[in-house]
Amino acid sequence: MKIHEYQAREIMARYGLPVGGSDVATTPQEARAIAERVGRTVVVKAQVHVGGRGKAGGIKLAHTPAEAEAAAAAILGMEIKGLTVRKVMVAEAVDIAREFYLGIVMDRAARRVLMMASAEGGVEIETVAREKPEAIIRVAADPLLGLRDYHARQIAFGMGLPGPQALSFVPIATALYRCYVENDATLAEINPLVLTPAGEWRAVDSKILLDDSAISRHPDWPAYRDPDTEAPAEVEARAHDISYVKLDGEIGCMVNGAGLAMSTMDTIKLYGGAPANFLDIGGGARADKVAAALRIILSDPNVKAVLFNIFGGITRCDEVARGVVAALEEVKPTVPMVARLVGTNEVEGRAILAGARMLTATTMAEAAQKVVAVSRGGS
Ligand code: GDP
Ligand code: MN
């Protein structure tokens, strides 16, 4: 789950990371009021869930409250990488002498939490990794002891920091590690982490990704969600407790069970098609959920055909078939559809679908071949 910079900054502040004062505004007047409170040069920053805002014009320095108001007026409503800016953060500006990168991720291959740092800060780490991989220092935390001071010193010396800054870097690295672990993050990143001309550390840009699977442990997380930044299909999917991930292909997939959904996508690929989505309606899906799933699939203009692949276990095929028929009446799709129903009450299920204008199939291979054909205008 993505959260905004200002939210990541609040979390990092709780760990003593040097983020400086800031607040968030949705109007130029609010931005001006924050700048007045800060009482010195501020930076006005677009709050959207993408990086590269600086290059896109979404970050402006403002020396007076009036400038902050004008900067906010220019940035609010701006489009950055397809996202409309609805909020800006107004933060105390930082004097920058040097920019560094500091980030933490899970290294799944090594089964360790990995801290990465680079003296080539401000640039996206993927770019550094591609163009100058030797400039990235990587140090894995100990699975039992965590990230200790000696790990942090190893990173500091690896970046060539002079003695005093190498020492003052240590509590920043260990605080970011605690922030990552205690918040069930999948990424905690400061880019750039800055040295001021006075030799002090400042976190200029904060980014945290949260691990959705840990949501039950964090009752405060739903409040981080910003419906403005989410695709409407994803909001609707969550409201109906449907797992949905949009993909780039043409074949919409409605499947019960994550494993079946994955193998359905593989089979479509095998026969030369491309899935438009991953979608798991889950067990015991009723008509209203099936209808919601169909609406979500068809809201994607790329979808040229839909494949229903249902395994009737606890969910009975006839019940799903009734749900599909009700959904078709409600949604009235114009694209061709193929259904494969197997399992409990499959005969009854197919009989119900025979009345609807749908192609049917008995095996996954047959279903995939049929849906690939009809998605290309064949039959
Ligand atoms: P991003 O482009 O979305 O990653 O946004 P950042 O917050 O990382 O800002 C991009 C760049 O803008 C930074 O690398 C800095 O060079 C510059 N910048 C951001 N905040 C400040 C600030 O407070 N003072 C100064 N001088 N530059 C800033
Ligand atoms: Mn950045």
Ligand 1 near 5 CB (within 6 A): no
271, two tokens: 């026969």
Percent of the chain with pLDDT over 70: 99
Is the Cβ atom of 21 under 6 angstroms away from ligand 1? Answer: no
The candidate with the shortest Cα–Cα distance to 334, out of 369, 304, 300, 359, is 304
Q: Tell me the pTM.
A: 0.79
Measure Cα distances from 170 to 23, 32, 47, 163 in Å: 27, 36, 29, 11
pLDDT score for 66: 98
Does residue 210 contact residue 184 with C-beta atoms inside 8 Å?
Answer: yes
Q: Please check whether residue 73 is in contact with residue 44, taking contact to mean a CB–CB distance below 8 angstroms.
A: no
- Tokens 């990235």 belong to 136
Across the range 211-222, mean pLDDT stands at: 94
Query: What is the Å distance from ligand 2's center to 203 Cα?
Result: 10
Backbone angles phi, psi at 83, to 5 degrees: -110, 135
* Residue 1 in tokens: 């789950």
Q: Which atom of ligand 1 is nearest to the CA of 55?
A: 2
Give 281's contacts (C-beta < 8 A, 6+ positions apart).
Answer: 242, 254, 255, 256, 289, 290, 293
Distances (CA, A) of 130 to 98, 122, 125, 127, 135: 21, 15, 9, 5, 10
Residue pair 287/298 in contact (Cβ under 8 Å)? The answer is no
Cα–Cα distance, 58 to 60 (Å, whole number): 7
Calculate helix-pair angle for 364-375, 258-270, nearest 10 degrees. 60
Q: Which of ligand 1's atoms lies nearest the C-alpha of 51?
A: 3
Task: Using the predicted structure, report yes or no on whether residue 107 has a pLDDT greater than 90.
Answer: yes
Tell me the mean pLDDT in the region 236-252: 92
Whether residue 38 has its Cβ less than 6 Å from ligand 1: no
Beta bridge partners of 84: 79
Atom of ligand 1 lying closest to residue 121 CA: 14
pLDDT category at 379 given cuts 50, 70, 90 is low
Pocket mutation for ligand 1, best pick of 96, 123, 193 (most atoms within 8 Å of C-beta): 96
Concerning whether 244 is annotated as a catalytic residue, the answer is: no
Q: What is the mean pLDDT of the chain?
A: 93
Q: Is the CB of 96 under 6 A from ligand 1?
A: yes
pLDDT tens for residues 110-153? Answer: 999 999 999 998 888 889 999 999 999 999 999 999 999 999 99
Residue 101 among the catalytic residues: yes
CA distance from start to end of the chain: 40
Catalytic-labelled residue, pool 5, 30, 120, 189: 189
How far is 149 from 154, CA to CA, in rounded Å?
Answer: 9
- Sign of the C-alpha dihedral, residues 236, 238, 242, 244? positive
Domains plus CATH for the chain? 21-92 (3.30.1490.20), 98-203 (3.30.470.20), 231-375 (3.40.50.261)
**Mutate which of 204, 207, 208 for ligand 1 pocket (most atoms within 8 A of beta carbon):** 204
To test the pocket of ligand 1, the residue of 118, 127, 205, 208 to mutate (highest count of ligand atoms within 8 Å of its CB) is 205
If you write DSSP's letter for every residue of 268-322 in order, what string do you get?
Answer: HHHTT--BSEEEE--TT--HHHHHHHHHHHHTSTT--EEEEEEEESSS-HHHHHH
Residue nearest to atom 16 of ligand 1 (CA): 122
What single-letter amino acid sits at 88?
V
| Nearest-CA residue for atom 8 of ligand 1 | 205
Query: 325 CA to middle of ligand 1, Å?
Result: 54
